[in-house]
Amino acid sequence: MSTRIDHRFAALAGAGRCGLVTFLMAGDPDPETSFAIIEALPQAGADVIEIGMPFTDPMADGPAIQAAGLRALHAGQTMVKTLDLVRRFRRSDDTTPIVLMGYYNPIYIYGVKRFLADAVAAGVDGLIVVDLPPEEDTELCLPALAAGLNFIRLATPTTDDRRLPAVLRTPPDSFIMSRSPGSPARRRRTRGGWRRRWPGSSATPGFRSRSASGSRMRRAPPSSRVAPREWW
């Protein structure tokens, strides 16, 4: 099943360019301002929009995103309102891919089956759930794929050999999002290590993006035997 993300990847590949992926927190600083920003992003050049699902304990995020989530929660943002925000966006834009990013707890409380059904109905295309490792695929990843959503993995260039095989088992039609190390020196060291790990590999077609945190995204390799030369 092809999603809007698949179509956008194909269009970017045909144009021979990288894609711009933007992120903002749903409901920050308030629901109406948040919607106005999201609605304007495609005209500003966004190829894919990531929308954060506010959560009280964002343990994998930095201070800026933590503060954004708390502002949204204080403004009354809920999971229902986040899905409604996507639904409103789809009334005027049925082509720009939407990815929801956040944590499993709000989805679990909402109910996985209900969440997936409502997300698909609202027009969501993919999920990034940062606290669900590959060992927990049955919780959300596999049901999400069965529902027609892309599921995006998280990895870093320093992911060790014990964890990497599980990450590379990303199901087809899914993606890997990597985060580069902080210092330039560390980035140089890590790049060399990853190149040596797969000396014959070539970069996988897809799109990349840079945010304030240095995140980039690529299409996942088709199997654990093939890996992109650079992941950021």
Residues taking part in catalysis: 50, 61
Distance of alpha carbon 102 from alpha carbon 142, whole angstroms = 17
CA distance 88 to 123: 9
Type of residue numbered 62: G
37/18 Cα distance (integer angstroms): 22
C-alpha distances in Å from residue 145, one per residue of 81, 89, 120: 23, 23, 11
Token pair 């596999």 is found at 142
Q: Are 102 and 53 in contact (CB under 8 A)?
A: yes
Strands (E), 130-200: 150-155, 175-179
Relative to beta strand 175-179, strand 215-219 is antiparallel
Query: How many Å apart are CA 158 and CA 164, to the nearest integer?
Result: 9
The alpha carbon of residue 54 and the mean position of all alpha carbons in its chain are separated, in whole angstroms, by 15
Radius of gyration of the chain (CA): 17
DSSP state for residue 50 in the 8-state scheme:
E
